[in-house]
Amino acid sequence: MDPYKIIVKPHVTEKTMNLIDQNNELAFVVRRTSTKAQIKKAFEQLYDQEVDRVNTHITPKGLKLAYIKLVEEGEAEDVAVKMGVF
């Protein structure tokens, strides 16, 4: 499946900005039917970074969020800068 159809957009809030700095994690809005394995593969294809783990959460509004923890320390900040979050 096309990685752009799995990962919809970055989810940027004050909480997710803290996760980037403290936990080396990024948050994305993802397709509701996607699995953790699909999200991991799509992220690794798009951003060329190794993923440690993926946690998902469905919000009360019906959005599915993926919290992606990266293996390399500090890489989440580098990816966020490349995406234009900072």
pTM (two decimals):
0.92
CA dihedral 83, 48, 22, 57 (to 10 degrees): 80
Domain count, the chain: 1
Q: Which residue has the tokens 């996760």?
A: 19
Containing structural domain, residue 26: 3-83
Convert the pLDDT of each residue in 3-45 to its tens digit. 999 999 999 999 999 999 999 999 999 999 999 999 999 999 9
Convert the pLDDT of each residue in 42-81 to its tens digit. 999 999 999 999 999 999 999 999 999 999 888 999 999 9
Q: What is the CATH number of the domain that holds 8?
A: 3.30.70.330
